[in-house]
Structure 1
Amino acid sequence: MPSNTPPVPRVKRRGRLAVGALVTALFGQLMTGTAVAAPAAEVKAETLLAGRIAWAPCESPSGEGTFECATVKVPVDWKRPNGARFDLALARHRATDPARRIGSLLVNPGGPGGSGVDFTFMAPDSFSPELLERFDIVGFDPRGVARSNPVVCDEDRVNTQNALLYPDSASSFAALRKANRALGENCRDLTGPLADHMDTGSVVRDMDAIRAGLGERRITYYGVSYGTAIGQQYAERYPHRVRAMTLDSNMDHSLGAWGFQKTETIGVEESYGQFADWCARTPSCALHDRDARAVFDTLYKRAEAGELVEPGDPPRTVTPEDLQSAALSNMYDPAGWFGFAQALADLEAGVPAAARSVRKYGEPTEYPFNSVMCQDYDFGVSSYRTLARFQRELGRLAPVTRFSTLGWTVQNGCQDWPSEVNNPQRRLQVDGTPPILMTNSRYDPATPHSWGSNAAKQIGREAVFLTYDGVGHGDYWLSPCARDAIDTYLVTLKTPRKGTHCPAVWPTGPSAQRQSPSGGLVNPLPELLGTGTYGRAG
């Protein structure tokens, strides 16, 4: 959220989705979309490719592991498949037991804006030995992201939008609309035509081109957060091209503006409540002898009055949105709760914060979030009066955290965005796939449990829904039980029973490294989706 250093470009669009670098050690992290119905006549992906994907050895940023990289040319506009094309970037980690290889496992880490190539580079530390042995892990940077013709925008305009995302009057709401349109037009000018073709339906078509280039008749897929939107819509459009599909921390693309705000807000409020209850029963929590709900409420009121200042050089005034974003981002993974509690305690006591790095203004910056969200969701709000009514009602639903900064900024950042909503909300219509394993945490601040439950109901008999009864985003790295169920299913196609619940896992001590309880695997989502990337999401 806004800070005295230039904010990290977030997920914005009709509202951005971002959680930026916030009140010092506190902060970080999401979202999603759905697919378009297939046109009457569709060009098969195989006909667009000259042949199989041409892989070549490449090196990960860490220099560790053995990988191959490649590109696939896909149309900028799938309605004009013979028109302009661009290179979609891929990376692959080969199965470590070739004799028992099942096939390719396509993966996506969410965002929108998370790099599937980087996700693949992290696969040896983040996926189980079973998956690494049996599958080629294949990730791609979705259109407009990272190495795939990234959407770029002027950072001054990004920061201008950031500063206006929480309007408090009709005039400031009008200023936000103007800034959104100016930013969207600037992104289009700097990026080219691809900026207007960033919807999830187009990503689904790209993924099928990857399938064709891999020579696979059917794909195996793991998507988390926004990656579930890609998977849901792929299953809808190409049901007979799915071997197995795990959708972890699900989006619900059927929600209108109020439903989206309400469920996002409840997700954050309930997750923070779980944090407060954990702190009350955990002696080593910095707020153990306090009511963490009351602490947050007091800090919020001080911030509202302009009286909450973080000491430093220079000192920084902390806004209510800073606090809300901190609460949101720190609910993604309870592994950081000891540090979050200490940060709240330090903020209350006026302890100086660590130094923050300074970013430069006025430079092109990669910023794909709005270009996806604003083409996937029609969240038009008719007036500031409607927006203010939303905020009052959300405050009644969530008396501690008030509303979700993620949901709020996604909505607000897309008001008057210049691109068409190419892939507006609707219910899923999936028919003819094998069983699809869907998982959600009971307390997820980004993709609430109700989203997963509702998406599973829309999919119907093909869906097998598993609930992790803890807090967080990305069940594979939060729950050994969920991870085992996912691994078993992807390898053997055996699903858990419908309605399965996995027990909550609570942090027992501070952790320097974000290792999941699932066999010591490293949770890649904070790095891929958190501060310093494109936004948070999903």
Structure 2
Amino acid sequence: MTAALLAGCSPGGGGTAGNVADAKPSSSPAPAGTPTADPGTPPPPPPPPPKGQDDPALKDFYAQKLAWKACKDDPETEEKDEAEFQCATLRVPLDYANPAVRSIEVALMRHQAANSEARVGTLLVNPGGPGGSGKDWLKYAYGRFDGAMHDRFDIIGFDPRGVGESNPIQCLDDKARDRDNADDGPDPKDHAASNAYSEQKSKEFADACQAKSGDLLPFVGTRNVARDMDVLRGVVGDSELHYLGYSYGTYLGSLYLEEFPDKAGRLVLDAAVDPAEDPLEKSVNQQIGFEQAFTRFAKDCAARAGCPLGRNADKAALVGVDFLDGLRTKPLTTREQGRKLTSSLGWTGMISLLYGDAERWKWLRDAFTYAMRDGDGSALLYYADNYNGRNEEGKYDGSMDALPAVRCADGAAAAPSPERVQEVLAKLRKEAPLFSRDTVAEDFDGPGCEFWPYKTPEKAHTIKAPADSPVLVIGTTGDPATPYAASERLAEGLGNATLLTLEGEGHAAYGKGNACIDDAVDKFFLDGTMPPAGTRCVQ
């Protein structure tokens, strides 16, 4: 394909908590006069195994006390002293089916409620990914909770297992990651060579993850993270979980609802992932979403004087795609010594800016201007590094190792039938002709998780919400990473959910300055007031 898939939201995780003793029939005959069951009547099903706080094997985990202390200040966040936050670690089982074997620690960061007397409880937040650090996110995003939310909620960001400071998955070192991110591979028109190359890289990556983190790989699925969240809920003393999840975090919230329906409080799922959508369909819809967003950007650019893509609105997107593909043979120099802007990095930098709202289109116009007119690839390289989790010292945060590890633990797509492949190709040709122009049927043979050492039993499926657990789902009409239709399907599938719509561009809506969205979400969290069905806000 022309553009590599960047976002990694996927369905998820495996295993069942708790153990049930085997029920063995008596080997001796029943005493005379004892009623016997009708041999034609099947026995009643066994009771479900206890889980969460009801599982005796998890008692010690739910009874632990958190040792909160002031966090260490991060010099990179000059606008905030992290010592104003509190940090702690939560102990959870590596394997919920065998909790006594080994425990791991989940890193937490808390922004305490300013008004303890009016405190509602704890709000747990996941920023997405998979692979996103909730601790890092809270350091920068705490301001969106200013006011009544900060007064009445302890806000906790956490690093899910396998991510950040919570037993991070490790696969590639920084130099290898630099090489992989910059590598354009064979000519995409040489499909045999491209597919062989992709298989080789996929196998090498899987082998590296197995060598460095093989003991963690079977246990980093999203369902286990949902179980970790319930341990945290119990430890902080809340009877219900209040939760805000963005993007992939909406799937995590949905799985929590499925695992612990009686513990679900006020859940907000923003930029939703549809749990019933298989990975192939998700990938195709995402590619369409990004092409449509890029086309809207290009048309807006063409209407402005000095647009580097030209003034023809019908051709501007094609000019941009041709330029990015042309970097395969003519990479640009940058201000970083020894690094060039390759096609792969250029595509990543461009797509990363499409996650933002239309105000960020100016940044993308400028980045194209520097690259196309000045021959300077520094801006697009900067945005690619930011997306890939690379800092100015060349260190990676591990998010790109965690992303495929969680995705493969959450469920891989089965090989599509020839008929399905042709259906997908037809959809891409019609709705994403530029981004899929080099795509052929053979590209759908893999690689995905074929070489992954752990095979999960999880499958895409619809999740239902209990009648007493209302959920607020938010979708943005121009969201390229999790297209709006996924929010519609999630809300419909949950059954007891209200869909709040933002008409505009970008990925996710809450906390980004839209008063209509922010007020609706705050009211729901603070007093349970749901916005009227069909509410639409304008960016």
1:100 aligns with 2:118: yes
Alignment equivalent of 1:48, drawn from 60, 85, 102: 60
**1:331-381 per-position Cα deviation (integer Å, ceiling 9, x unaligned):** 111332112112223333243233868876999997211110112232244
**1:305-344 per-position Cα deviation (integer Å, ceiling 9, x unaligned):** 555542457684642x555434422211133211211222
**1:81-136 per-position Cα deviation (integer Å, ceiling 9, x unaligned):** 22211111111111011121111001111111111122233343232322111100
Q: What is the aligned-residue RMSD (CA, Å)?
A: 3.6
**Secondary structure class of the residue paired with 1:467:** strand
**Secondary structure class of the residue paired with 2:267:** strand
Alignment equivalent of 1:328, drawn from 351, 374, 377: 351
Q: Give the 3 Å change call, closer, same or farther, for CA 148–174 of structure 1 in structure 2.
A: same
User: Which amino acid in structure 2 is aligned with residue 93 of structure 1?
Assistant: H
Distance of 1:251 and 1:243 partners within structure 2: 20
**Secondary structure class of the residue paired with 2:91:** strand
Verify the 8 A CA contact 1:160 1:179 in the aligned structure 2.
no
Please give the residue correspondences for 1:495-506 in structure 2 after superposition, counting only pairs within 5 Å.
495-504=530-539
Distance of 2:73 and 2:274 partners within structure 1: 33
Q: Relative contact order: is structure 1 or structure 2 higher (C-alpha 8 Å, sep ≥ 6)? A: 1
1:145 aligns with 2:175: no
Verify the 8 A CA contact 1:308 1:317 in the aligned structure 2.
no
Q: Which structure 2 residue ranges, 5 or more long, are not aligned?
A: 18-47, 382-390
Distance of 1:86 and 1:76 partners within structure 2: 6
Alignment equivalent of 1:483, drawn from 500, 503, 518: 518
Alignment equivalent of 2:108, drawn from 86, 90, 93: 90
Give the TM-score normalised by structure 2: 0.78
Distance of 2:463 and 2:258 partners within structure 1: 7
**Secondary structure class of the residue paired with 1:487:** helix
Alignment equivalent of 2:485, drawn from 450, 457, 463: 450
* Structure 2 equivalent of residue 345 of structure 1: 369
- Residue 434 of structure 1: how far off its partner (Å): 2.1
**Secondary structure class of the residue paired with 2:510:** helix
Q: Give the 3 Å change call, closer, same or farther, for CA 483–292 of structure 1 in structure 2.
A: farther
Verify the 8 A CA contact 1:16 1:413 in the aligned structure 2.
no
| Stretch of structure 1 that moved more, 243-252 or 38-47 | 38-47
Verify the 8 A CA contact 2:473 2:498 in the aligned structure 1.
yes
Distance of 1:36 and 1:189 partners within structure 2: 22
Alignment equivalent of 1:310, drawn from 326, 329, 332: 332
Verify the 8 A CA contact 2:478 2:505 in the aligned structure 1.
yes
1:396 aligns with 2:420: no
Verify the 8 A CA contact 1:153 1:365 in the aligned structure 2.
no
* Structure 1 equivalent of residue 386 of structure 2: none
* Structure 1 equivalent of residue 384 of structure 2: none
| Stretch of structure 1 that moved more, 450-459 or 413-422 | 413-422
Verify the 8 A CA contact 1:204 1:233 in the aligned structure 2.
yes
Alignment equivalent of 1:130, drawn from 139, 142, 148: 148
1:428 aligns with 2:463: yes
Distance of 2:193 and 2:285 partners within structure 1: 28
* Structure 1 equivalent of residue 251 of structure 2: 229
Task: Select the structure of larger CA radius of gyration.
Answer: 2
User: Which amino acid in structure 1 is aligned with residue 354 of structure 2?
Assistant: M
**1:453-502 per-position Cα deviation (integer Å, ceiling 9, x unaligned):** 11111101x11001111010120134321111111111111011122111
Q: Give the 3 Å change call, closer, same or farther, for CA 450–38 of structure 1 in structure 2.
A: farther
**1:147-194 per-position Cα deviation (integer Å, ceiling 9, x unaligned):** 100001133665676548886523542442343233223213212411
1:31 aligns with 2:14: no
| Stretch of structure 1 that moved more, 305-314 or 482-491 | 305-314
Aligned-pair identity in percent equals 28
* Structure 1 equivalent of residue 198 of structure 2: 176
* Structure 2 equivalent of residue 373 of structure 1: 407
Verify the 8 A CA contact 2:221 2:406 in the aligned structure 1.
yes
User: Which amino acid in structure 2 is aligned with residue 48 of structure 1?
Assistant: D
1:209 aligns with 2:231: yes
Verify the 8 A CA contact 1:244 1:436 in the aligned structure 2.
yes
Alignment equivalent of 1:251, drawn from 257, 264, 273: 273
1:76 aligns with 2:94: yes
**Secondary structure class of the residue paired with 2:378:** coil
**1:272-306 per-position Cα deviation (integer Å, ceiling 9, x unaligned):** 2332344355x477459713552331243355455
Q: Give the 3 Å change call, closer, same or farther, for CA 257–109 of structure 1 in structure 2.
A: closer
